[in-house]
């Protein structure tokens, strides 16, 4: 038994040596393999980067060409869709006329503050007032603003000012111009600048009013109305996130209403062509 023990000790020592030698050899092979594939991976990454760069440049050219094509087509689309929006306003006003008349009202926190109307104007499309209102500033205690209402919604390119002391929740014309210490100074400023700064804004509203009248005069025809209805149907579908329109949904109800009107108009046009 002692002899077997001694032999086993020798054999185990040899096996441990073999194990260690094998592990050292394995580590060397692993390092060599890593080095080999590191170089191959770097080569592949360089190839990948170069190919992706080529593809991106190609895609950029394609995208740029597509954008140029879209930019070429869009101006005409914008002109036509602007006319559609005027037609939409006309239809809305025929069904639910906008009350464009309004009173100058101070916000609740400014009740008791004074105001003075310098000029007013109103027709079927727009109503505006140039007003001086008292504010709570310590020095320039009075503000001069143009406020009013119009039927043209977002077709007006003018930004709206936030007028702190006036109640403007039902208005869509809000143009603040200047603050002065006393009303008399604002009246003088108004007389000097009415024909320039304020009239420049009013000219924009007048231009849109003229554009609206022209659109209604020249584009309330069957072909324009058919195109308008189809535009509205696309609008309802797009604003329903592309999903099927379902019942008990605002877009569904409006979609059905426009669909019926479009079908009736197409039938009318068909009957006229047949006869």
Give the tens place of pLDDT for each residue, 152-207.
988 998 888 877 778 778 888 999 999 999 999 999 999 999 999 899 999 999 99
The whole-angstrom separation of Cα 130 and Cα 144 is: 7
Query: Which among 104, 171, 169, 103 is positioned nearest to 143, based on CA atoms?
Result: 104
What would the pLDDT profile of 53-111 be if each residue is shown by its tens digit? Answer: 999 999 999 999 999 999 999 999 999 999 999 999 999 898 888 888 888 887 776 77
The whole-angstrom separation of Cα 11 and Cα 21 is: 15
DSSP 8-state class, residue 155? G
pLDDT at 241: 61
Checking if the pLDDT of 256 tops 80, the result is: yes
* pTM of the full structure: 0.75
What would the pLDDT profile of 39-64 be if each residue is shown by its tens digit? Answer: 889 999 999 999 999 999 999 999 99
Q: Are 238 and 255 in contact (CB under 8 A)?
A: no
The whole-angstrom separation of Cα 237 and Cα 218 is: 28
């Amino acid at each position: 038994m002692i002899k077997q023990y001694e032999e086993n000790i020798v054999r185990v020592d040899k096996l441990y040596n073999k194990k260690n030698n094998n592990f050292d050899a394995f580590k060397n092979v692993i390092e060599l393999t890593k080095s080999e594939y590191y170089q191959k991976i770097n080569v592949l990454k360089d190839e990948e980067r170069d190919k992706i760069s080529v593809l991106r440049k190609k895609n950029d050219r394609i995208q740029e060409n597509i954008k140029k094509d879209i930019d070429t087509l869009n101006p005409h689309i914008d002109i036509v869709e602007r006319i559609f929006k005027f037609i939409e306003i006309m239809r809305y006003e025929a069904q639910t006329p906008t009350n464009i008349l309004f009173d100058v009202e101070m916000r609740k926190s400014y009740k008791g503050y004074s105001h003075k109307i310098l000029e007013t104007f109103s027709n079927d499309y727009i109503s505006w007032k140039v007003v001086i209102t008292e504010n709570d500033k310590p020095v320039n205690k009075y503000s001069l603003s143009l406020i009013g209402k119009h039927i043209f919604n977002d077709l007006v390119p003018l930004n709206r000012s936030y007028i702190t002391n006036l109640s403007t929740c039902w208005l869509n014309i809000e143009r603040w111009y200047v603050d002065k210490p006393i009303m008399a100074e604002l009246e003088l400023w108004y007389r000097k600048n009415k024909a320039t700064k304020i009239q420049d804004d009013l000219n924009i509203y007048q231009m849109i009013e003229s554009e609206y009248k022209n659109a209604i005069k020249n584009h309330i025809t069957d072909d324009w109305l058919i195109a308008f209805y189809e535009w509205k149907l696309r609008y309802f579908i797009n604003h329903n996130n592309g999903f099927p329109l379902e019942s008990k949904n605002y877009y569904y109800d409006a979609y059905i209403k426009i669909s019926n009107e479009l079908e009736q108009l197409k039938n009318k046009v068909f009957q006229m062509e047949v006869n």
